[in-house]
Structure 1
Amino acid sequence: MTRWEVIVKYLGYVLLFNALFFYISASISFFFHENSLTPLLYSAVVCTILGSFPLIFVEKIDEVNFREGMVISVFGWILTCFVGAVPYFMWGGEFTFTNALFESVSGYTTTGATILKNVEALTKGLLFWRASTHFIGGVGIILFVLLILPSAAGTRSSIYNSELSGLSKLNFRMRTRQIARVIVVVYLSLIIIEIALLWTLGMNFFDATCHAFATVATGGFSTKNLSVAYYDSVWIEVVIMTFMLLGSIHFGLLYGTVTGNKMNVFTSKSVRTYVGLMFLGIIVVAAKLTNDGFYSWWTSLRYASFQVISLGTTTGFATVDTPNWPILTVIIIMYFTIQCGMVGSTSGGLKFDRVLLFYQSLKRQIKLVLHPSGVYITKLENVVISTEMELQTAIFFILYLVTLFVTALLLSSMNVDGMTSISASIATIGNAGPGFGKVSSLGNYSSIPDAGKYVLSINMLLGRLEIINVFALFTVLTYKK
């Protein structure tokens, strides 16, 4: 039986966490005497009131079962996205209700797709709130809540298990609260270091903070219309590329690297293969751009490196617009947008580990065809992968590709051109943001019909919740025992 009072109580924590960042954003608007103060302050007060009621009137809960944890996780994301749209809609400008919701979902899911034609028209308070949705969504508001919950270990474990995939836990050998602490510590450390570096390289502190939030969260919201291209600085690009890449690697391995654990970035075969494949993609794209006369070799390498890493980690920053790039480079970048980063990171998409596991499973199946009586196992990072996990990965692949196809089909039925439909579908379910066609790197989603924006908003949420959790939620809500 699902206890809704338990779910409402923990959703209250989610609202209060959002309220904290509303207050910070409102303070920025107050300091700069901006007209976004009222929308942000109103949102903060409403979140505080609604979030406080369950904590006051619902008695203390000692345990949360897995079914309740699943509902808290999925509903927490949905509620947060609606709450985050309020200040946009109240402020107005380009933000109709549809656009406000799209921007909010894009921010929290760290997709980075925007409907804004003029980002720089936003006030600093709204720009900070926009960046904050990336910060909150980067490791997931649920994990932040887990860290501060004064609840029993069983409660934290139930919610944690409903939030993270089983494959991402391979590189964590610790308890739930320790895992949440490690993730948040690594996350905050990367952000602080990047802020310091970007500030040192010439960004003002506000822009450095917003870009660091977006980089480590692999989100992509910039404070500038031209994104990172605005700064035209190789060193700023190098710093952002480095932290995009770090944000897409399993946080447990990053933690192990700093603490001297044997499980770290340098000992991981998955990391070496992931980085090696991305490097190969960069070289091929740069060679094609040079060969076709787009740029010189070093300029091609500069643009190729940033675009492949940006979209391959699902961040979505841009240093150049890509609609006229050769089709070979488009296909390569689209592949990386589908594959994306590693499990246990802030990256979206299929996840490289799943792709690697798929190929390992394929090798095992080929061996079984050749030697039916043989006994073979599938291993990842020297860990034996169960047949159940292999099956879950295969099912996830199918669901992911079917969702991608259906979304593209729906957009095409709304008279959106083919390249834009396919590209927008890939970019949103992978939480990558920009794509090609009308939604290219320096473009936006303003031309997509309102119905299409709702479809893409659902697509972004499905991608962030890894699809199967949503199906599991429906099972939880309809299952009777």
Structure 2
Amino acid sequence: MRLNIVLRYIGLILLLNAAFLLLSACVSLLNGMDTAFYPLLQSFLLTAILGAFPLIFVQGGEQISSSEGYGVVVGAWLMSCLMCMLPYMLWGGEFTLADAWFESVSGFTTTGSTSLSNVEALPKGLLFWRASTHWLGGVGVVMFVLVVLPSMGSTKMRLSSVELSSMAKDNFRYRTQKTLQILIVVYVGLTLIQTVLLKIVGMGWFDAVCNSFSTIATGGFCTRNSSIASFNNAGVEFIVMFFMLVSGLHFGLIYGTLTGKNNNIFKSEISKYYIFSTLAGGVVIAISLWLTDIYPNIWISLRYSLFQIISVASTTGFATADSSVWTPLAIVVLMLFTIQCACAGSTAGGIKCDRILLSFKAMKAAIIQRQHPNAIIRVKLNGVIQENNTVNMAMLFIVLYLMLLGIGTVAVAAFGIDLETSFSMTVASMANAGAGFGQVGSMGNYHEMPGMVKFIATIMMLLGRFEIFGFIQLFFLNKWK
């Protein structure tokens, strides 16, 4: 692997981060040059210099190999997290080294967990930067750069194939550049529409922009301590709920639906499974909350249950209620949807509905095969026959994912954290969903967690964001031919 070429491309991604650091500094300047201005400006200068350095000394134009593609993508994510913790460290306040790293990784992986006990104490420049890390990480920092760069031949294809989930590629039936453009257009378009709608129902422009960044990225960083509950606005809740649900859909299918293509949301059994299973889960939770008198009537129960289940299913992590005090049934259902999550090709994390649905079909085929040993049973998804390798990889991913959840739970529990908190924290971190239960519930935070527990959580976040294999590959690049 040619390290100099890898560093050149990582430098390009760092320059994108520097641009958003500068934009955040401008927000700070417009708000009376708040206390975040100089930390953001200093971070911009350091990140810009580090990003520009390899561009000056390394010649461009060379094509990269598959191993170098993995090196660029994973290296870019790690360097983005590392450099973009600088504003937190320089600003100070509640941020220790562990907290700054946790906040940065949680932002870029769109997990949305926070180590802060008082988010509202942050100046607006830093709040905007937190939201920006979500927005950059949602569709992928590498994707933004690939869209604006001129033709790069096979390099662009290699980088996008690493950044995009393997399950996501099935519904992008376009050339690489067209796929990237669709991703960005849908992503930016949804962000703009939600921002305007939130403003219309009474939210200020600053809050509307920041919370839209978090929603479309399915992140969860909010500008208020009590998340969306702070606004106490049914219109805000409905808009956020709708866009959380939409952001969990495959962006290629959203584009196909809006442009009248046959490949759309209404014809995708994955999309239908995601939407109907999520809504059904919300109804089950609402009935549970109503029957146990947690809320006075079924309509209020539905208001809170639907918001919370869409939030965890889409891996956004916003909250309008403290779900930790809900019924055991409600908690179990929420936990199951946190493990499953939304669709491939969205900004969501987790196992993904695609793999869950594929595993159900594979199990059904296996049962039929035992009943009819000589029959040839094909597994179909969206009417397309799935290769055995695709089915096997999906099953392997699920098994490995669940194994890592077990390992992560044991590692966290070793620091004296109770089992409910340990397990839900691990699940929420791997799924990039943010909210867990116990000490890290929907209205809680990680402020009191030991530094080592926060570090373990960030490892789980990165494993989840790279869908396990992408992160593990980094440690075996020297064995690639």
What is the aligned partner in structure 2 of residue 426 from structure 1? 427
Deviates more, 1:319-328 or 1:17-26: 319-328
SS of residue in 1 equivalent to 2:265: coil
For residues 312-368 of structure 1, what are the alpha-carbon distances to aligned partners after superposition, in whole Å with 9 as ceiling and x for unaligned?
Answer: 110000101122111110000000000000000001100011100111111121122
Distance in 1 (CA, whole Å) between partners of 2:152 and 2:138 is: 25
Aligned ranges for residues 56-135 of structure 1 at < 5 Å? 56-135=56-135
TM-score, with length taken from structure 2: 0.98
Residue 279 of structure 1, CA deviation: 1.1
For residues 247-281 of structure 1, give each alpha carbon's deviation from its aligned partner in whole angstroms, at most 9, with x where no partner exists: 00000000001111001111212111211111110
Shift of 1:463: 0.4
- The list of structure 1 runs, each at least 4 consecutive aligned residues, that deviate by more than 3 angstroms after superposition, is none
Alignment partner of 1:143 is 2:151:
no
Pairwise CA distance, 1:165: 2.3
Does residue 168 of structure 1 match 2:168?
yes
Decide whether aligned partners of structure 1 residues 93 and 225 sit closer, same or farther in structure 2, where only a CA change above 3 A counts.
same
Q: Distance in 2 between matches of 1:175 and 1:151?
A: 12
d(CA) in 1 for partners of 2:395, 2:448:
35
Q: Is the 8 A contact 1:310 1:317 kept in 2?
A: yes
Per the alignment, in what secondary structure is the counterpart of residue 346 of structure 1? coil
Please name the residue that 1:202 is paired with.
Answer: 202
Within a 5 Å distance, the mapping from 1:420-459 to structure 2 comes to 420-459=421-460
Which residue number in structure 1 is paired with residue 28 of structure 2? 29
Q: Give the C-alpha shift of residue 167 in structure 1.
A: 1.6
Q: Does residue 251 of structure 2 align to residue 251 of structure 1?
A: yes
**Structure 1 unmatched ranges of 5 or more:** none
**Where does the alignment leave 5 or more consecutive residues of structure 2 unmatched?**
none
Deviation at residue 480 of structure 1 after TM alignment:
5.6
Contact 2:171 2:263 in 1 (8 A): yes
Residue of structure 2 in register with 1:334 after alignment: 335
Please state whether the residue corresponding to 1:203 is helix, strand or coil: coil
Q: Distance in 1 between matches of 2:366 and 2:74?
A: 35
Deviates more, 1:27-36 or 1:440-449: 27-36
Query: What is the match of residue 408 of structure 1?
Result: 409
Partner of 1:150: helix, strand, or coil? coil
What aligned pairs does 1:306-455 form with structure 2 within 5 A after superposition? 306-455=307-456
Mean alpha-carbon deviation: is it higher for 245-254 or for 393-402?
393-402
Indicate the residue corresponding to 1:181 in structure 2. 181
Query: CA–CA distance in 2 between the matches of 1:81 and 1:399?
Result: 25
Amino acid at match of 2:456: V
In 1, the alpha carbon distance for the partners of 2:284 and 2:342 equals 19
* Residue aligned with 1:319, SS: coil
* 1:205-216 equivalence runs, <5 A: 205-216=205-216
TM score, norm. by length of structure 1: 0.98
Matched residue count: 479
Measure the CA separation in 1 of the matches of 2:169 and 2:412.
Answer: 36
Tell me if structure 1 keeps the 8 A contact 2:74–2:474. Answer: yes
CA distance in 2, matches of 1:471, 1:319: 36
Matched-pair contact (CA < 8 Å) for 1:153–1:176: no
Aligned partners of 2:273 and 2:353 also within 8 Å = no
Q: Matched residues in 2 for 1:244 and 1:167: separation?
A: 20
After superposition, give the CA deviation of every residue in 1:40-60 in whole Å (9 maximum; x if it has no partner).
001101111111111121112
Give a deviation string over 1:187-235, Cα, whole Å, max 9, x none.
0000000000000110000000000000000000000011100111111
State the alpha-carbon separation in 2 of the partners of residues 294 and 182 from structure 1.
44
Give distance in 2, aligned partners of 1:161 and 1:31: 39
- Kept after mapping to 1: 8 A contact 2:102/2:454: yes
